[in-house]
């Protein structure tokens, strides 16, 4: 319980805001989730649904929290929320751009009223510029920031990335900012404003491609499972399924060539260095593909691993779920009342991973405890 004693008020909805709150809650903070009277929309994101009718997605983002309901359009309830925020160390929201200011919950007002408060404002397209007031969602930001354009097979259409990495990443950046601000407060006694946004997160994820374009002027291409620079560094079909092979430097390539029965490649001027292999990429990939197709991914993996060449099968989610390495890490945890395990925080302190103490809260379950029996 690293953050025991820290109180967080989360006015979060859907994914990015609740994920920031979930990280802080997993770390031991007392996270009070403030929901509209009808509840976070994510409660209905399904299927699948838990036996209580709430979605699995909701519980994954809202475990270890308490829930209160507030109608922010009601003056009395809004003032009650403000008093609650006054008891918090951190306030997190991902309201629609401009909504917090209209409700009297904007950063300027709250930071002046509560000078020790760390105020985390999670935006969509950023807090400045011509699109500052535009709302945003995961697929929109992946598209707008160029991530969709660099994802997918080069011979097929561009594709959205399979996980909500922009929402989740923004939650992570928000927590990093909040923890840094709390550290500063421990020295200065003052809180302050932490601003993050989906677009800024997406830009950071696209950063290497943006920076490469800025230097070269060349529009980044899609590479499927491959890499824009390293060769070979991608999936190859074997006799029974794909195997990712990542010979990320010339030493590893020499080992790969030995395993493939082509040791001469290591000194061949067409393939000896990564620059050589990049210049002859189609031919290099064709030759490797022909050899790997002659045997199974299991046999190739055994040989490659013995030679120290990194490789991995493209596992399905069921295969990952059942893998002994996943089990050995203890990252799949089943909190009390959950019908199935959930993925825990990917951090351990010493040998201990933060525990899941509870599932996502019932809507308004903690109104009385937080606001009093008159709530």
Give the pLDDT score at 374: 52
Strand partners, 235: 244
Alpha-carbon distance of 360 to 65, in angstroms, equals 6
Q: Computed over its alpha carbons, how large is the radius of gyration of the chain?
A: 25
Alpha-carbon distance of 207 to 172, in angstroms, equals 17
Alpha-carbon distance of 221 to 39, in angstroms, equals 42
- Predicted confidence band at 17 (pLDDT cuts at 50, 70, 90)? very high
- In CATH, the number for domain 233-313 is 3.30.1540.10
Confidence check: pLDDT of 375 > 70: no
Give the pLDDT score at 52: 86
Please write the tens of the pLDDT for every residue from 240-259. Answer: 999 999 999 999 999 999 99
Going from N- to C-terminal start, the domains of the chain cover 7-205+331-371, 233-313
Confidence check: pLDDT of 36 > 70: yes
227 is catalytic: yes
CATH classification (class only), 7-205+331-371: alpha beta
Instruction: Answer for the pair 203, 126: CB distance below 8 angstroms, yes or no.
Output: no
Confidence check: pLDDT of 278 > 70: yes
DSSP per-residue string spanning 233-255? EEEEEETTEEEEEE--SHHHHHH
Please write the tens of the pLDDT for every residue from 206-239. Answer: 999 999 999 999 999 999 999 999 999 999 999 9
Percent of the chain with pLDDT over 70: 99
Strand partners, 90: 8, 118
Please write the tens of the pLDDT for every residue from 94-117. Answer: 999 999 999 999 999 999 999 999
CA 278 from centre of chain: 31
Other C-beta atoms closer than 10 Å to the C-beta of 166 total: 30
Give the predicted TM-score (pTM) of the model.
Answer: 0.92
Q: Within 265-308, where are the H helices?
A: 274-279, 281-292, 297-306
- Predicted confidence band at 152 (pLDDT cuts at 50, 70, 90)? very high
Closest by CA to 67, choosing from 114, 26, 12, is 12
Instruction: Answer for the pair 174, 92: CB distance below 8 angstroms, yes or no.
Output: yes
Give the pLDDT score at 373: 64
Instruction: Answer for the pair 160, 217: CB distance below 8 angstroms, yes or no.
Output: no
Angle between helices 198-205 and 207-216 (to 10 degrees): 60
Out of 85-89, 117-121, 371-375, pick the least confident: 371-375
Please write the tens of the pLDDT for every residue from 295-341. Answer: 999 999 999 999 999 999 999 999 999 999 999 999 999 999 999 99
Mean pLDDT throughout 156-171?
Answer: 95
CA 42 from centre of chain: 17
Give the pLDDT score at 1: 83
Q: Distances in Å between the alpha carbon of 93 and those of 100, 197, 354?
A: 9, 11, 24
Q: What is the rounded average pLDDT for all residues in the chain?
A: 95
Q: Which of 127, 209, 223, 227 is catalytic?
A: 227
Give the pLDDT score at 299: 97
3-state secondary structure of 330: coil
Instruction: Answer for the pair 289, 226: CB distance below 8 angstroms, yes or no.
Output: no
Token pair 């009277």: residue: 37
Give the pLDDT score at 372: 87
Give the pLDDT score at 324: 96
Confidence check: pLDDT of 276 > 70: yes
Give the pLDDT score at 46: 87
CB-based contacts of 142, cutoff 8 Å, min separation 6:
148, 160, 161, 165, 166, 202
Mean pLDDT throughout 130-156?
Answer: 95
């Amino acid at each position: 319980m690293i953050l025991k004693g820290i109180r967080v008020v989360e006015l979060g909805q859907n994914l990015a805001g609740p994920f920031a709150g979930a990280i802080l809650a997993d770390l031991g903070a007392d996270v009070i989730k403030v929901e509209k009277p009808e509840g976070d929309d994510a409660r209905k994101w399904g299927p699948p649904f838990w036996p209580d009718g709430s979605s699995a997605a909701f519980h994954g983002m809202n475990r270890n929290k308490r829930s209160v309901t507030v109608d922010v359009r009601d003056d009395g309830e809004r003032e009650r929320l403000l008093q609650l925020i006054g008891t918090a160390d951190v306030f997190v929201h991902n309201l629609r751009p401009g909504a917090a200011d209209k409700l009297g919950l904007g950063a300027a007002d709250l930071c002046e009223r509560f000078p020790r408060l760390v105020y985390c404002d999670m935006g969509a397209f950023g807090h400045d510029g011509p699109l500052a007031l535009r709302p945003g969602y995961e697929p929109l930001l992946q598209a707008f920031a160029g991530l969709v354009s660099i994802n997918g097979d080069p011979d097929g259409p561009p594709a959205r990335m399979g996980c909500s990495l922009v929402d989740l990443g923004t939650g992570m950046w928000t927590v990093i900012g909040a923890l840094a601000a709390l550290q500063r407060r421990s020295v200065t006694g003052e809180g302050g404003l932490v601003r993050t946004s989906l677009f800024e997160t997406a830009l950071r994820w696209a950063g290497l491609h943006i920076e490469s374009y800025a230097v070269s002027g060349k529009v980044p291409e899609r590479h499927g499972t491959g890499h824009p620079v390293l060769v070979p560094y991608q999936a190859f079909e074997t006799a029974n399924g794909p195997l990712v092979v990542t010979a990320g430097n010339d030493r590893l390539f020499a080992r790969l060539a030995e395993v493939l029965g082509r040791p001469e490649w290591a000194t061949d001027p067409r393939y000896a260095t990564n620059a050589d292999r990049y210049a002859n990429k189609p031919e290099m990939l064709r030759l490797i593909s022909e050899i790997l197709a002659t045997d199974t991914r299991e046999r190739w993996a055994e040989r490659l691993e013995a030679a120290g060449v990194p490789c991995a099968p493209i596992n399905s989610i069921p295969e990952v779920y059942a893998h002994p390495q996943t089990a050995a890490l203890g990252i799949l945890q089943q909190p009390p009342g959950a019908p199935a395990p959930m993925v825990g925080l990917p951090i351990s302190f010493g040998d201990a991973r933060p525990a899941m103490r509870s599932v996502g809260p019932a809507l308004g379950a903690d109104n009385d405890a937080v606001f009093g029996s008159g709530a």
